[in-house]
Amino acid sequence: MSKIIAITSGKGGTGKSSICSELGFSLAKQGLRTLIIELDFGLRCLDIMLGVKNDVKYDLGNVLKGEIDVTKATTQVKMAENLFIVCAPEDPFAKVDAETIKSICNEMRKYYEYIIVDTSAGTNASVFDVVEQSDLILINTTPDPVCVRDARTMSDEFYKRGNKKQRLIINKVNPDLFRAELITDFDEIIDTVGVQLIGVIPDDDAVIIATSRGEPLPNNSLAFKAFDAISKRLQGEDVPLSFKVLLS
């Protein structure tokens, strides 16, 4: 059974694309065939984050124009044998139609165990249609109150449209502030957004270094452990959610 997971947020810069790449690397490492579909039109970045900048021959733009089949627009990630990407069109005004993207995602279910969809912040109407029909929506926020409120707005909209399968990722949590007990718990964030937590990711320079080099995270980094835990939870494994446990 394949699973389509959409990563989204209300605000930009919360780490959606970084989460897509690192979750992709993490699932692939566990032997799961994973495809990332980048829907942030005109703001392509995953080719760099996944180290395939020079390997991309075709992208979603070619598929939407009817020039090629989506399987031909798929690029293998060199650093991970089970990881593949369909890059966003470079043209910010490429014509998107939700039905076509939905049928592309569904067609790819045959070949992949996980399909991760990266979106732009707030998402335009047609991307929204694709996200709302995913098997799971990962709403991403940082601890910043503005960002948390925007996450709530997004989540409410998805609930209204009938998608109840949502989980929350809190990203960029400063481990030093947490250790100093200046951030005590995440209950307030979870209550405000109103979505069950699936993982907390530390603010970790390893993410910036890995994504700018186009490499997976080093195994000994805190962020690696956070993504490893999230990918296991996605498969139903019982991994402790506590950030304290992650930092210990």
Contacts with Mg ion, residue ranges (CB under 5 A): 16-17, 40
Q: CA–CA separation, 96 vs 47, rounded Å?
A: 20
| Residue 171 binds which entry of Mg ion, ligand ADP, none, CB below 5-8 Å type-dependent | ligand ADP
Q: Are 137 and 163 in contact (CB under 8 A)?
A: yes
Which entry of Mg ion, ligand ADP, none binds 14, CB below 5 to 8 A by partner kind? ligand ADP
Residue 14 interacts with ligand ADP (CB under 6 A): yes or no: yes
Gyration radius of the chain's alpha carbons: 17
Helix (H) or strand (E) holding 137: strand 136-141
Strands 114-118 and 74-76: unpaired
Q: Which CB atom, from 82 or from 119, has the smaller least distance to Mg ion? A: 119
Among 12, 31, 92, 145, binds ligand ADP (CB under 6 A): 12
Question: 22 is in the binding site of which of ligand ADP, Mg ion, none (Cβ under 5 to 8 A by kind)?
Answer: none
Q: Does 141 bind ligand ADP (CB under 6 A)?
A: no
- Residue 171 near ligand ADP by CB under 6 A: yes
DSSP state of 81: T
φ, ψ for residue 91, nearest 5 deg: -80, 115
Return the residue of 2, 3, 10, 16 that touches ligand ADP, per CB under 6 A: 16
Residue 132 binding target from Mg ion, ligand ADP, none, CB below 5 to 8 Å by type: none
The span from the CA of 49 to the CA of 36, in Å, is 12
Residue from 85, 189, 201, 229 that binds ligand ADP (CB under 6 A)?
201
CA pair distance 230, 114, nearest whole angstrom: 14
Q: Does 44 bind ligand ADP (CB under 6 A)?
A: no
Exactly one of 13, 42, 218, 240 binds ligand ADP (CB under 6 A); that residue is: 13
The residues that bridge with 197 in the sheet, in sequence order, are 168
Q: Which does 225 bind (CB under 5 to 8 A by kind): Mg ion, ligand ADP, none?
A: none
**Shortest distance, position 69 Cβ to Mg ion, whole Å:** 26
Identify the CA nearest to 143 among candidates 105, 200, 97. 200
86 — phi, psi (to 5°)?
-110, 115
Chain residues in the site for ligand ADP (CB under 6 A): 9, 12-18, 171-172, 201, 203-204, 207-208, 211, 223
